[in-house]
Amino acid sequence: MTFNFFVLPFFLGLIYLITTIIRRFNGWIKSLEKEDKVRFTTGLHNYKILLAIKEVFFESLVHRRMFRRNRLLGYMHMTFALGWFLLIVMGNMESRIYSGLWVNPPYYPIFLKFFIHDKRVLPFEIFTVPGFFRFSMDLILMFILTGLLLAFIKRQRSRWFGLKKNATLQLTDKVAMTCLWLIFPMRLLAESFTAGAYGYGGGFVTQHLGNVLAMLWPFSDKLIAYGFWWFYSLSLGIFFITLPYSRYMHIPTEVLLIFFRNFGIKPKKEYSAFSDVEIFSCPSCGVCIDICQLSSATSLKGFQSVYFIRSVRNQHLSQEIAMHCMICGRCQEICPVGINTDSLRLIQRNKFFTHHTSDFSYLPTNGTHKAEVLYFAGCMTHLTPAIIKSMKHILATAKVDYTFLDEDKTICCGRPLMLAGKEEHAKALIRANKKMIGESSARILVSSCPICVRTFREDYSLDIEVLHHSQYLLQLIKNGRIPIQSYFKRVVYHDSCE
């Protein structure tokens, strides 16, 4: 016997899941820009595919980043990912040996213990009593069930896993999670009742548990076993159907994201196929909640990256959720999937300001004095005038030929406009600033603001060198243009988020 009607929920759910994933993956790949399509195709045929497979193993199966965050959290995720993967691989090997065929129906390895429950000795079982496969499958199942226990504890005691708060779940997440939590206990009970009913065929756990259950229900164990096989199949089928609409879509999508990255495909300024893959790769693990500095400093809720990404995925993002973020990058740095949350939020913010206008008529129009060096203090530096005073003194002492570009506080680098989502207005300001910078004929642009330095380097495409004042002062010291004394005993260093 190789078929029973109870396999239909699993089989139909699997077909739906595979069809949905293929359709979405095909849509994302087709939506790539021409250059990225070339990168993807080329990557499939060179060594980069090996790097991608290696990262899939360490990040999607072993969850290495999660382990670095918290060992208990990493182990919990690994048991589900790696454990289920090993269960599938070992199950397929076992079913092929029993059937003698290289290709079996996809449900056959999953429900093998229902179809095969005799005393047949497999080639690998010669020197072992419970049998290599039976022992291995039970061992892997126990491995997964320890993770399931930890997952249940995590919902109640998240602090044990290094998390102050769990992410709230939407309905599809709850349905999918409930089914996921039922899958492996149902398998354990189905295999155990079956082994107990026949008196053999189980492993070191399922056989002993089955014998105990057979003593408790000696007249109905086969019927009960059949019921649990139905529950097992239903749990799998419902999980597969709800997976594409829940946070568990990250399981297949993260694999595609890893391949994209290894093939050189990167985020764009506008929403792209890569952005969509990142959105669906978010596991809603909640790691980003605690690290957000606004979480502890304010009473604002529901705006952290996990909720922002969910809103984008569900296509009901509000301006409030998009704007409640300082773009400090903490969530991006700690994300176990490595999602570019800052980039995604800026892209979405830009959609709320497409019809706004800006007037930059206040900018200077009488040209910029020619100089060797341009000094740009930046908005934040103007709030700490002692820095400006010191820089003026140092530049005068070093006899640097410089022009103070924003001395009258009239211009900005444009980064605040970008952070507000006003991309087009920022571009207009950048064009005006580039014109003034070009008129100066300077060879170096020095700024005291790290945000301004980043903006000038990444968004201006300047032909001159851009340095933070600490870098430029070091050059002056090395060239002997300013004296330095050695009696300072204490310094303060600020590692800016930008």
> Which DSSP category does 482 fall into?
S
The answer to whether residues 340 and 383 belong to one domain is: no
Q: What is the pTM of this model?
A: 0.87
Tokens of 10: 């699993």
The answer to whether residues 324 and 459 belong to one domain is: no
- The answer to whether the beta carbons of residues 186 and 228 sit under 8 Å apart is yes
The answer to whether residues 383 and 322 belong to one domain is: no
Tell how far CA 331 is from the center of its chain: 10
Position 302 scores a pLDDT of 83
Burial 113-138 (b: 16+ CB within 10 A, else e): bbbbbeeeeeeebeeeebbbbbbbbb
The answer to whether residues 381 and 320 belong to one domain is: no
In a domain? residue 110: yes
Nearest Cα neighbor of 132 from 92, 94, 98 is: 94
More confident residue, 215 or 228: 228
In a domain? residue 276: yes
In a domain? residue 293: yes
The answer to whether residues 198 and 297 belong to one domain is: no
The per-residue pLDDT for range 385-420, each reduced to its tens digit, is 999 999 999 999 999 999 999 888 778 899 988 888
The answer to whether residues 335 and 426 belong to one domain is: no
Q: Alpha-carbon distance 71 to 161, whole Å?
A: 8
- The answer to whether the beta carbons of residues 9 and 237 sit under 8 Å apart is yes
Position 358 scores a pLDDT of 66
CATH of the domain at 305: 1.10.1060.10
The answer to whether residues 23 and 149 belong to one domain is: yes
**What is the maximum span of the chain, computed from C-alpha positions, in angstroms?**
100
pLDDT at 362 over 90: no
In a domain? residue 38: no
The per-residue pLDDT for range 74-110, each reduced to its tens digit, is 999 999 999 999 999 999 998 988 888 888 999 999 9
Give 351-392 as a DSSP string.
Answer: GGGTT-----TTS--S-----SEEEE--HHHHTSHHHHHHHH
The per-residue pLDDT for range 336-348, each reduced to its tens digit, is 999 999 999 999 9
In a domain? residue 46: no
The answer to whether residues 316 and 396 belong to one domain is: no
The answer to whether residues 199 and 126 belong to one domain is: yes
pLDDT at 129 over 60: no
More confident residue, 353 or 387: 387
CATH of the domain at 434: 3.40.50
- Residue numbers of the domain that contains 297: 262-353
Position 80 scores a pLDDT of 96
The answer to whether residues 336 and 405 belong to one domain is: no
Tally of domains in the chain: 3
The tally of CA atoms less than 13 A away on the side-chain side of residue 300 is: 19
The per-residue pLDDT for range 431-486, each reduced to its tens digit, is 889 988 998 889 999 999 999 999 999 999 899 999 999 999 999 999 999 887 77
